Amino acid sequence: MSDFVHQSVLGREAVQLLQAAPGKVILDGTLGGGGHAQALLDAGARVVGIDQDDAALAAARARLAGRDVVIAHGNFRDARALLDQLGFGEVEGALVDLGVSSPQLDDPARGFSFREAGPLDMRMDRTRGRPLSERLDEWDEKALARILDSLGEERFARRIARAIHRAWREQEIEDTKQLADLVASAMPRKAWPAHIHPATKTFQALRIAVNDELGALGEWLLQLPRIVARGGRAAAISFHSLEDRMVKQGFAKLATGCICPPQLPVCACGRTAGWKVITKKPVQAGEAELAQNPRARSARLRAVERLS
């Protein structure tokens, strides 16, 4: 039995927004431990589940054994190609959960933890890509500062980047705990955040960069017209402002009709809206869910429907 135990967020709300029902095929692009997939299956839908984490796939296979689900290894940025390989055309629903799972965060061996020593890895998919240690070999101080500023919204990005770059060149960082301690020491003590570890934003930025998470999200959004059938829906659960902003803007672009200048008397572009946004504001976890799973507090769920 797998020890990959993760509590999915906004499961009931995702099932409702995707209108999961018998006869529908729904793509779960971030299968994880199988929580959302199980809820979709319980509603009668058939599920195609993909995930880039081998540990998550093992857990999902065990949890969903015997259910009407097809499971494959891969990244949701390749959703259309994976669906083709599995023999599926357009689906009636598509879901991605952009959060890092609790087992990934809590297992020091994965390299995401700033509380315990672990390898400088941070890859979601350990079969591909380059770990953090190799990235630190190639990033100079300016590149590091840009990453921490743009992907972590870290106030002290330049100071932290300078400290990391110097320590890495001097071979003074060997694990995630040393990296986290270095980040904390590079920040003014009085500026440490009250409720999160001082290295939280830095680790977030490095993880996003190592896994090209925003690039993957952008590709998924562009593929939606080739993934979701007319009348179907797509939904995304995000956990920080960068992702939520991309989802909001991506869905709004899908739902945009005429883009002619307002001074034109009649439309010349011929563009019509093929989608509609069905969550004017993001759906958030209720108090009951927050009491059971405090990590759901930052979750934001948005959905869009392809017009028929």
Beta strands (DSSP E) in the chain are 25-28, 46-51, 69-73, 91-97, 228-238, 275-277, 300-306
Calpha distance 45→43 (Å, rounded): 6
Q: Any idea where the domains of the chain sit in the sequence?
A: 11-97+213-306, 127-211
What is the CATH architecture of 127-211? Answer: Orthogonal Bundle (1.10)
Which class does domain 11-97+213-306 fall in?
Answer: alpha beta
User: Does residue 155 carry a pLDDT above 80?
Assistant: yes
Span 100-104, mean pLDDT?
81
Read off the pLDDT band of 261 (50, 70, 90). Answer: confident
What's the confidence (pLDDT) of residue 267?
84
Q: Could you give the percent of the chain with pLDDT greater than 90?
A: 85
Are the beta carbons of 274 and 225 closer than 8 angstroms?
yes
Mean pLDDT score across all residues of the chain: 94
Span 252-256, mean pLDDT?
96
What's the confidence (pLDDT) of residue 3?
55
Do 127-211 and 11-97+213-306 have the same topology in CATH?
no
What's the confidence (pLDDT) of residue 105?
82
Calpha distance 164→154 (Å, rounded): 14
Tens of pLDDT along 3-39?
Answer: 555 578 999 999 999 999 999 999 999 999 999 999 9
Tens of pLDDT along 184-222?
Answer: 999 999 999 988 999 999 999 999 999 999 999 999 999
What's the confidence (pLDDT) of residue 1?
38
In order, the DSSP letters of 82-139 are: HHHHHT---EEEEEEE-SPPHHHHH-GGGT--SSS---S---SSTTSS--HHHHHHH-
Read off the pLDDT band of 269 (50, 70, 90). Answer: confident
Contacts of 30 by beta carbon, 8 Å cutoff, 6+ apart: 50, 51, 76, 95, 96, 97, 98
CA distances in angstroms from 124 to 103, 137, 213, 280, 284, listed in the order given: 12, 20, 10, 31, 25
